[in-house]
Amino acid sequence: MAIALCTTSQIRRAAATQALDAIASDNAEDINSIKKELSKRLGLSRVLGNGEIIGMARESGQLQLARQLRKSPIRSQSGVAVVAVMIRPTSCPYNCAYCPTSELAAKSYTGFEPAALRARQNGFDAGRQVQARLGQFENNGHETSKCELIVMGGTFNAQPAEYQNEFMKSALDAFNGSESGSLQQALRENERAAHRVVAITFETRPDCAGQTQVCSLVDMGATRIELGVQSLDDGVLAKVMRGHGVAETAGATANCRDALLKVGYHFMPGLYSTPKKDAGMFEKMFSDGRFKPDMLKIYPALVVEGTKLHEWWKNGEFEPYDEEMAAEAISECKRSVPPYCRIMRVDRDIPTHKIEAGVKKTNLRELVFKRCAEKGIKCRCIRCREIGIKELKEKRKINLENAALKRIDYAAAGGSEVFLSFEDEENDALLGFVRLRKPGPNICRPEITPATAGVRELRVYGEQVAVGRDSVGAAQHRGLGSRLLLEAERIAADEWKMEKLAVISGVGAREYYYKRGYALEGMYVTKALGS
């Protein structure tokens, strides 16, 4: 009779408590059986979810058990929950030879990639895509108070300005849980939202990243731009009808850097190339000051039906890398990647059945690691050294007390860069870092003057800790970020004699800086140095 008076919510909480007790007491491995049995016995309309049990574990302080229950734990080990949304299925104004076109997704996607499938299921509505992805994360037990938004598909800023504005407003409204009157209002409201957007990424082309275009993306909340570079060979770019050359890549990189944006490159090994030539382009990428990206996505050239490259392949005019050749090429490329760069992805999400020729195996990253190990190549990119990855994949026990401050200085795009990091040198583990820039001659934002230094990124890695919650054995919220920021301020003031420090903070991270003496100025948070 007591159960009959309970609400559905109360019954489900009771079931979650019982499931948690059963799992904890028996050290049970067959969690699904426990969930199904309890759900059936208590007459639940749907099977108890992991997220409900994890929520109860957190409420009761059983944090280690909550971590064990979480699905795909690596998805939040970099400190944020990544939410990718895709724009409507329209073509971009360009006709690159390798680029797939589909009525099911925006150009450059087939419509069958995970993000494209989610977009289709939600009618390409930005808000619905965000809600669906947040729901997936929460059902699998991931923390979602700090999120990164990635806008995918074609060339976003080639879309009409009104569409760009409405798409971004819809996405931000979904994170905020309420409808705003404008995009700028939505951005402001996210500063205190339950799901704070601490980073926003746009994909675009180098010839769509002029100063005016970059300024517009910053006004929409951008903190990172991913440029479709593909090759550093003008001959190859002309052959595949890319529509721009290497000079545009250099110009776009400079424009983004001097707006304090992080810069990611999409690079395509095997695009009328050889492993030796690809390795040479990587060496150039990180030795030539015009380039030096912060991040990389490495996508070996693939042959997809309906593309010009597909015609050339059928005619015997083009042959892509297979898995072994791609692994060989990328392993050699890794020799040139410096510790300040993060290799974000290796290989596209395109389903195997859509690939006519090229890399079809889905474990290319593992094949690359194997080749590196065979040749004694140790990748020291950011991703390979993140504390969360080290703890999860390599089972390393990282002692946060061993954190040592490291510094790398380098020149890029007419300015000066400092990469400051806290590292556990014994385990080659990266705990956090800051990217500090003294701008070059390509300043386009009114908030930034020649006497302004800029923080392009401040990041502490490890399992995401909710905003306002204390960390337990996690790197986040341990004061590392504050120490990095203070050292960046010191360098800017004492070594560079700058008058102001500007941070291109994600809107959801602004409150962090407000507490440290920064104030909102346009789309940046700034602080007078020496104050």
Low-confidence ranges of the chain (pLDDT < 70): 1-7, 20, 22-30, 49, 51, 55-79, 392-396, 462-477, 531
d(CA 125, CA 170): 8
* Residue 370 in domain: no
Give the sign of the dihedral formed by CA 341, CA 344, CA 345, CA 349: negative
* Residue 68 in domain: no
* Residue 382 in domain: no
d(CA 184, CA 330): 41
* Residue 357 in domain: yes
344 and 482 share a domain?
no
Residues 6+ apart with CB under 8 A from 497: none
* Residue 393 in domain: yes
- Residue 525 near residue 516 (C-beta atoms within 8 A): no
Considering the chain, what is the average pLDDT of its residues? 89
d(CA 374, CA 384): 17
Q: Given this model, what pLDDT does residue 1 score?
A: 38
52 and 79 share a domain?
no
Give the sign of the dihedral formed by CA 98, CA 111, CA 262, CA 157: positive
177 and 258 share a domain?
yes
Cα-based angle 465, 468, 473 (whole degrees, multiple of 5): 40
Strands 146-152 and 196-204: parallel
393 and 315 share a domain?
no
d(CA 523, CA 446): 10
* Residue 376 in domain: no
Which helix (H) or strand (E) segment holds residue 452: the answer is strand 452-460
Torsion-angle region of residue 141: left (phi > 0), alpha (psi -120 to 50) or beta? left
Tokens 């300005």 belong to which residue?
A: 161
57 and 78 share a domain?
no
127 and 193 share a domain?
yes
The domain tally of the chain equals: 3
131 and 181 share a domain?
yes
d(CA 252, CA 259): 11
User: What are the φ and ψ backbone dihedral angles of 223, each rounded to 5 degrees?
Assistant: -125, -15
CATH of the domain at 239: 3.20.20.70
Q: Taking Cα atoms as reference points, which of 417, 107, 153, 481 lies closest to residue 262?
A: 417
Beta bridge partners of 148: 82, 199
CATH of the domain at 518: 3.40.630
d(CA 502, CA 525): 6
Alpha-helical runs (H) found in 86-179: 114-121, 126-139, 161-176
- Residue 498 near residue 452 (C-beta atoms within 8 A): yes
Q: Given this model, what pLDDT does residue 27 score?
A: 52
Cα 315 vs. chain centroid, distance in angstroms? Answer: 38
50 and 82 share a domain?
no
187 and 155 share a domain?
yes
- Residue 419 near residue 407 (C-beta atoms within 8 A): yes
**Can you give 33-71 as a three-state secondary structure string?**
HHHHHHHHHCCCCCCCCHHHHHHHHHHCCCHHHHHHHCC
250 and 105 share a domain?
yes
User: Which DSSP category does 469 fall into?
Assistant: P
Residues 6+ apart with CB under 8 A from 247: none
Strands 81-86 and 342-346: unpaired
d(CA 388, CA 464): 10
- Residue 227 near residue 250 (C-beta atoms within 8 A): no
37 CB neighbour count, 10 Å cutoff: 15
Q: Given this model, what pLDDT does residue 25 score?
A: 59
Q: Taking Cα atoms as reference points, which of 402, 514, 502, 512 lies closest to residue 459?
A: 512
423 and 498 share a domain?
yes
Range of the domain at 343: 73-361
Among 61, 85, 102, give the residue marking a domain's end. 61
* Residue 458 in domain: yes
The radius of gyration of the chain from alpha carbons, rounded to an integer in Å, stands at 24
- Residue 507 near residue 221 (C-beta atoms within 8 A): yes
Q: Which amino acid is at 490?
A: R
Q: Given this model, what pLDDT does residue 512 score?
A: 96
Beta bridge partners of 441: none
User: What are the φ and ψ backbone dihedral angles of 401, each rounded to 5 degrees?
Assistant: -70, -15
Q: Taking Cα atoms as reference points, which of 131, 135, 134 lies closest to residue 146?
A: 134
Q: Taking Cα atoms as reference points, which of 191, 207, 192, 113 lies closest to residue 152?
A: 113
* Residue 369 in domain: no
d(CA 415, CA 442): 9
45 and 80 share a domain?
no
User: What are the φ and ψ backbone dihedral angles of 186, each rounded to 5 degrees?
Assistant: -60, -40
Residue 344 tokens, joined: 């974000």
d(CA 354, CA 297): 20
Distant-in-sequence contacts of 38-44, Cβ < 8 A, 24+ apart? 39/15, 42/3, 42/11, 42/14, 42/15, 43/11, 44/11, 44/12, 44/15
Q: Given this model, what pLDDT does residue 412 score?
A: 98
Q: Given this model, what pLDDT does residue 472 score?
A: 47
Q: Taking Cα atoms as reference points, which of 339, 255, 333, 341 lies closest to residue 293?
A: 341
Beta bridge partners of 84: 150
- Residue 252 near residue 206 (C-beta atoms within 8 A): yes
User: What are the φ and ψ backbone dihedral angles of 81, each rounded to 5 degrees?
Assistant: -95, 120
